[in-house]
Amino acid sequence: MSEIRGELYDGQTSRHFPARLLVAADGELQFFWEGGSSSYLMGGVRVSSRLGNTPRYLTLPDGWKFETRDNDAVDSLLRQNRQHGWNAWLHKLESRWHYVVAALAFVVVFVWVMLQYGLPAAAEGIAYRLPATITDDVSEQTLGYLDKHLFAPSELPEAQQTRLQLRFAAMTSSLDSGHDFRLQFRKGGEALGANAFALPSGTIVMTDELVALSENENELAAILAHELGHVMYRHSLRQILQNSVLSLFITYTTGDASSLVVALPMMLVQLGYSRDFEREADRYAHDYMLENGIALEHFAHILSRIEVSHRERREEMKRRGERAKVFEYLSTHPDTGERVKLFMDEKR
């Protein structure tokens, strides 16, 4: 009969006292302490995993716990009862530094691969499967938030709005994507200025300042084509999914979208697009312009003017000693110089 020494806790208070554990040949565990004893079958006892030389705990069926630092004796007990395999393997791994380094390297590589490839692929798959009710709710709440906090009603002449909406309708008439395409106008003001952005439902908002900045409707059509690329490739949803994978996973698996609908509008406002998404939307605009005989330089010219406009507005705010509140995440046109160059190179 082997013996293991340790401390016994009553499971109710911090009170503990020295105790001995005797393991009978038949596997019965017998605990002895001053003034008492008790016996248990091994099948009803839970043994904590070995972690270095830290104490081990045996949790007894009545809630009492036996703590011991005699890890080798506990391992021997587990071997006798054929429960040692996983614990021994785990202890072997964490006891050898090269195993630890290898495991850490594996975790780092695994996480990188999942973030670089797994998460984007999963986000794309889910984005194309989300029902229209979710995208419609998200878009409605996002636009409501912007109208309340950032936008002002458009001051464009009604005739000009109608003309641009008719052109947009012609651009989207042949698209079969399940979206309810709409073009709306707002005054961006000092915060947004010349801007356009797409909501997941298919609504595209264009500011009065952007219309005023354009020299012709072909430039605006190029911007609209770029924003349509974001809609068609579900970029806003994919970006949101990639940045809220846990909550979206719960939504996707449970079907409960109530919390998602509340959270997504603010996320959509705060998130920009990745460079890959921008290139994809640029390619969509590029192909549309070629197919419809629109010179590529129209896109390059309007992007350059948008960049200059935003830069001048930032500098003006700095001169006034104000914090630049330009919402660059809504200006879906980062790296304008590089993109203009690419479009001009395509032209040649």
Query: What is the model's pLDDT at position 332?
Result: 44
Asked if 123 and 136 sit in the same domain, the reply is no
Asked if 35 and 171 sit in the same domain, the reply is no
Distance CA 264, CA 145 (A): 11
Asked if 120 and 215 sit in the same domain, the reply is no
Query: What is the model's pLDDT at position 26?
Result: 72
Asked if 158 and 123 sit in the same domain, the reply is no
Point out the domain boundary residue: 127, 150, 183. Answer: 127
Query: What is the model's pLDDT at position 268?
Result: 54
Looking at per-residue pLDDT, the higher value among 208 and 10 belongs to: 208
Burial 45-71 (b: 16+ CB within 10 A, else e): bebeebeeeeebbbbbeeebbbebebb
Give 66's strand partners.
Answer: 8, 58
Asked if 29 and 106 sit in the same domain, the reply is no
* Among the ranges given (22-36, 141-155, 276-290, 291-305), the one the predictor scored with the smallest mean pLDDT: 22-36
Asked if 298 and 333 sit in the same domain, the reply is yes
Helices (H), the chain: 71-80, 85-95, 97-113, 119-127, 132-149, 158-172, 189-192, 208-213, 217-232, 235-243, 245-254, 258-270, 275-291, 297-319, 336-347
Distance CA 118, CA 238 (A): 13
178: region left, alpha or beta (phi > 0 left; psi from -120 to 50 alpha) = left
| Both structure tokens of 226 | 């770029």
If one counts the domains in the chain, the total is 3
The predicted-structure confidence for 133-192, as pLDDT tens digits, reads as follows 888 888 898 899 889 988 999 999 999 999 999 999 999 998 877 788 999 999 988 778
* Residues 6 or more apart in contact with residue 39 via CB below 8 angstroms: 28, 29, 30, 31
Answer yes or no: are the C-beta atoms of 208 and 187 closer than 8 Å. Answer: yes
CATH classification at residue 84: 2.30.29.30
Distance CA 279, CA 70 (A): 62
Answer yes or no: are the C-beta atoms of 130 and 124 closer than 8 Å. Answer: no
Mean of pLDDT values over 180-206: 91
Distance CA 184, CA 161 (A): 8
Asked if 117 and 34 sit in the same domain, the reply is no
Point out the domain boundary residue: 104, 127, 150. Answer: 127
Mean of pLDDT values over 124-132: 83
Nearest to 145 by CA among 250, 33, 25, 270: 270
Q: Which residue has the tokens 């449970």?
A: 254
Asked if 213 and 316 sit in the same domain, the reply is yes
Highest mean pLDDT among 66-70, 107-111, 174-178, 181-185 belongs to 181-185
- Domain residues for the domain of 9 are 2-95
* Residues 6 or more apart in contact with residue 288 via CB below 8 angstroms: 171, 225, 228, 294
Asked if 321 and 215 sit in the same domain, the reply is yes
Q: Which residue has the tokens 């890959």?
A: 276
Asked if 251 and 232 sit in the same domain, the reply is yes
pLDDT over 80 at 100, yes or no: no
Answer yes or no: are the C-beta atoms of 150 and 327 closer than 8 Å. Answer: yes
Query: What is the model's pLDDT at position 331?
Result: 46
Asked if 145 and 74 sit in the same domain, the reply is no
Nearest to 222 by CA among 286, 310, 293, 306: 286
Return mean pLDDT, the chain: 80
Q: Which residue has the tokens 């004796």?
A: 73
Asked if 198 and 314 sit in the same domain, the reply is yes
